[in-house]
């Protein structure tokens, strides 16, 4: 599918799809501007974002001897390399270690607090962080205790971020594992903790052999409760997975959804034809939680340049940019945007477009999303865009 984004005419993108955007500055955002720009993160796994040093300390405290490295730096490298192997199944293996050290209340609270702190320092103003409560019961915690420990951590992280001069708001998404049979139970848990720090539900894990329709009862329950959910679909697996997630399960958003590109044809003359499913996704403004670096590691995309995000952005799908697993991908929101800026020459306007898309697609109430867009995100980008007006002081001449 790589040829598609290349054969797609640049003129088409600029002429047809940039009309609604505000004026562009000719320069690309600097690394520092990317970091300071307000960012919104919708797809990030709590057990995929631990600090390597924290893993080492927690393993020591719990007597977990399974870590492949005891030096934090080497351990960080090990995670990235293991995740680089190219298969989703192998990628998921790395989580055995992170989950092993997240089995007590203290560990969960610490990891959640550091997550919020790290994101805030990276300029993230709103995040929905997901985790599977059922994977944190080995130390004797109940599902409720897991949720409360993580919530406590997020609140603590928000406080620490504020003390450090940052602002962030974090909501939790409760994930059920595709291969397990606890989806309904986890969905009920998500519903019980609604308005108490949990904003939605998700299913994750290996896609092949575990279609989302396996958990239909959970999705139907959430719909009856007027609750929100996203589904990992269209990452390793193609269009049928996306179609099921939307038309059978009723997902509000798609985790990845990157294979929607398979339903888009680009002719030699640059004409684009959207299939029925791709049209539906775009027409209904279904948010796609794109995770470029993660997709490169799992083989869902061959390179940043050939990542479907380039074409999908030009076609104005409701795209969002995400990290997925910061530890395994050695990434941050800023780093994801750096790659996109370098590859597609995205400007601050593009960054704002992705960020507003993400905020519109969040699971918190509409009035709060709107206030985040108008009072936090847009002023933040306006301030960055205005920086060229005030050049840094030139050295004084002698």
Chain contacts with Zn ion (rule: CB under 5 A): 324
Is the CB of 233 or the CB of 341 nearer to Zn ion? 233
Q: Residues near 37 by Cβ (< 8 Å), separated by ≥ 6? A: 29, 123, 337, 348, 351, 352, 355, 380, 381, 384
Closest CA to 219 of 233, 230, 208: 230
Is the CB of 88 or the CB of 311 nearer to Zn ion? 88
Give me the half-sphere count of Cα atoms (radius 13 Å) on the Cβ side of residue 63.
1
For residue 50, the minimal CB distance to Zn ion (Å) is 15
For residue 397, the minimal CB distance to Zn ion (Å) is 55
d(CA 313, CA 311): 5
Is the CB of 293 or the CB of 347 nearer to Zn ion? 293
Among 235, 289, 336, 338, the one annotated catalytic: 235
Q: Is residue 134 among the annotated active site residues?
A: no
For residue 177, the minimal CB distance to Zn ion (Å) is 12
Give the angle 338-339-343 at the CA atoms, nearest 5°.
120
For residue 246, the minimal CB distance to Zn ion (Å) is 17
Q: Residues near 44 by Cβ (< 8 Å), separated by ≥ 6? A: 115, 119, 127, 128, 129, 130, 322, 323, 324, 325, 326
For residue 339, CA distances in Å to 218, 307, 345 come to 37, 11, 9
Is the CB of 24 or the CB of 89 nearer to Zn ion? 89
* Catalytic residue numbers, as ranges: 235
């Amino acid at each position: 599918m790589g040829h598609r984004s290349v054969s797609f005419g640049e003129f088409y993108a600029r002429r047809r799809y940039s009309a609604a955007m505000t004026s562009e500055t000719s320069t690309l955002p600097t690394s520092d501007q990317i970091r300071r720009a307000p960012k919104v993160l919708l797809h990030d796994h709590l057990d995929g974002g631990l600090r390597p040093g924290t893993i080492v300390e927690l393993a020591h405290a719990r007597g977990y001897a399974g870590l492949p490295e005891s030096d934090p730096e080497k351990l960080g490298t090990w995670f990235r390399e293991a995740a680089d192997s190219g298969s989703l199944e192998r990628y998921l293996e790395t989580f055995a270690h992170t989950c092993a050290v997240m089995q007590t209340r203290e560990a969960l609270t610490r990891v959640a607090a550091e997550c919020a702190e790290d994101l805030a320092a990276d300029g993230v103003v709103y995040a929905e962080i997901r985790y599977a409560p059922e994977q944190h019961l080995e130390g004797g915690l109940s599902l409720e205790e897991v949720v409360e420990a993580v919530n406590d951590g997020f609140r603590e992280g928000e406080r620490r971020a504020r003390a450090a001069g940052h602002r962030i708001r974090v909501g939790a998404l409760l994930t059920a594992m595709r291969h397990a049979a606890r989806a309904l139970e986890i969905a009920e848990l998500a519903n019980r903790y609604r308005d108490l720090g949990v904003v939605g539900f998700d299913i994750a894990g290996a896609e092949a052999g575990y279609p989302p329709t396996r958990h239909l009862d959970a999705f139907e329950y959430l719909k009856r409760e007027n609750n929100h959910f996203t589904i990992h679909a269209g990452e390793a697996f193609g269009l049928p997975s996306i179609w099921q997630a939307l038309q059978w399960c009723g997902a509000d958003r798609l985790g990845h959804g990157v294979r929607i590109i398979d339903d888009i044809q680009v002719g030699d003359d640059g004409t684009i034809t959207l299939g029925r499913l791709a049209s539906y996704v775009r027409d209904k403004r279904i948010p796609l939680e794109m995770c470029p670096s993660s997709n490169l590691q799992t083989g869902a995309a061959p390179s940043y340049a050939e990542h479907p995000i380039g074409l999908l952005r030009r076609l104005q799908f409701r795209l969002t940019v995400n990290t997925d697993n910061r530890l395994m991908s050695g990434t941050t929101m800023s780093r994801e945007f750096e790659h996109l800026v370098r590859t597609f020459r995205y400007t601050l306007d593009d960054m704002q477009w992705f960020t507003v898309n993400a905020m519109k697609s969040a699971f918190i109430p509409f009035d709060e999303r709107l206030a985040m867009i108008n009072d936090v995100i847009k002023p933040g980008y306006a301030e960055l865009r205005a920086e060229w007006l005030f050049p840094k002081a030139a050295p004084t001449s002698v």
